[in-house]
Chain A
């Protein structure tokens, strides 16, 4: 599975959009980009995933560049409850199998 690079930490004002970047320059054609988050003291939570098209669900939007070497997770109106560590994971999909978690981005949403 391709490696990913994310900033260690980010701040965002409550009510504003949070844009979390992820670089995955060695991604292969059959690899998907998955995003999970982990709120303090809880298990990780699936957010969204995509292959090459932009995706949106009730939690977030995922923007993948045309060359697929990077992506951005967008939380359109961040709330205090969105404070968490966000993990960008690239893996062959869609199939079962393990997730390889990096260090993620610690997002702090501030009032």
Chain B
């Protein structure tokens, strides 16, 4: 299995621009998570989906952030407009109810820099 795939791996953009991060979960997994990591705040959950339905978006910072999961094999996290404080590493993770332990498998992350 290829694992969780994220793209792009690095993104540099200017303040005010729209940014779209992409994630392909492990095939067969029914949970998908978006996390953000910064030096100041550590790793924090933004939103997670179960069977393509958003379950908990309480970690989404504000209306500038939105996430979608149109099907079981694809999700996007969009920031519009982007701000310098959005600079962070964004991780996507997936898990499966079938394992019984629900361990999460993380992608390599997207390093976002907003100038």
Nearest-CB distance from A78 to chain B (Å)? 22
In the bound complex, CA of A34 to CA of B100 (Å): 13
Contact mask A33-47 → B, CB, 8 Å, 1/0?
010101000111110
Q: Is the CB of A95 within 8 A of B102?
A: yes
The residue that A43 contacts in the complex, of B31, B42, B91, B95, with Cβ under 8 A, is B91
Please name the residue on chain A nearest to B101 by beta carbon.
Answer: A94
24 A-B interface contacts by CB (under 8 A) = A36-B104, A38-B43, A42-B109, A43-B4, A43-B93, A43-B107, A43-B109, A49-B101, A93-B101, A94-B100, A94-B102, A96-B31, A96-B50, A96-B95, A96-B102, A97-B48, A97-B56, A97-B102, A98-B33, A98-B45, A99-B33, A99-B45, A101-B43, A101-B44
Q: Is the CB of A44 within 8 A of B102?
A: no
* Interface contact tally, CB-CB below 8 A: 56
Size bin of chain B's contact surface: 20 to 34
Given contacts A94-B100, A98-B45, 15 further A-B contacts (CB under 8 A): A38-B43, A42-B108, A43-B4, A43-B108, A44-B43, A44-B104, A44-B106, A87-B43, A93-B102, A94-B101, A96-B50, A97-B31, A97-B102, A98-B56, A101-B44
Task: Tell yes or no: B18 within 8 A of A by CB.
Answer: no
In the bound complex, CA of A1 to CA of B103 (Å): 16
Please report whether the interface of chain A is mostly helix, strand, loop or mixed according to DSSP.
Answer: loop
Which residues on A sit within 8 Å (CB–CB) of B105? 46
Q: Which of B33, B42, B56, B109 has the most CB of A within 10 A?
A: B42
Given the contacts A43-B91, A43-B108, A44-B91, A96 and B45 also touching, CB distance less than 8 Å: no
Nearest-CB distance from B75 to chain A (Å)? 15
Nearest-CB distance from B15 to chain A (Å)? 25
Task: Tell yes or no: A102 within 8 A of B by CB.
Answer: yes
Task: Tell yes or no: B12 within 8 A of A by CB.
Answer: no
Which residues on A sit within 8 Å (CB–CB) of B45? 98-100
